[in-house]
Amino acid sequence: MRTVVLYTLARLAIFAATAGVLALLGARGFLLLLMALLISGVVSYVLLSTQRDRMSSVVVSGVRTQRQKFQRSVTKEDA
């Protein structure tokens, strides 16, 4: 869970920094948000790749654990 929160905070920080720089350069309104979203997406894709892989493995293992619990409960209920 911690890795998911850290990844999300890092994405938000990159978005905020990008929006701040674009605002200083004169972008406003919808254009500011659109450009910040696109640029921060590319930057975070490059900079946060290892963190994204870690987060992905945590999420997959959590889903796998929940699926196993569900299967055990269904098996127990059927018996």
In order, the DSSP letters of 35-77 are: HHHHHHHHHHHHHTHHHHHHHHHHHHHHHHHHHHHHHHHHHHH
pTM of the predicted model as reported, rounded to 2 decimal places: 0.79
Q: Which of 40, 45, 43, 19 lies closest to 31, judged by CA?
A: 19
Number of structural domains found in the chain: 1
Band the pLDDT of 79: cuts 50, 70, 90. Answer: low
Task: Give dist(CA 43, CA 8) in Å, integer.
Answer: 14
Q: Range of 27's domain?
A: 2-78
Measured distance CA(37)–CA(20) in Å, rounded: 12
pLDDT digits (tens, 9 = 90+) for 28-70: 999 999 999 999 999 999 999 999 999 999 999 999 999 999 9
**CA-to-CA dists, residue 2 to 9, 10, 56, angstroms:** 11, 12, 12
Question: So what's the pLDDT on residue 75?
Answer: 82
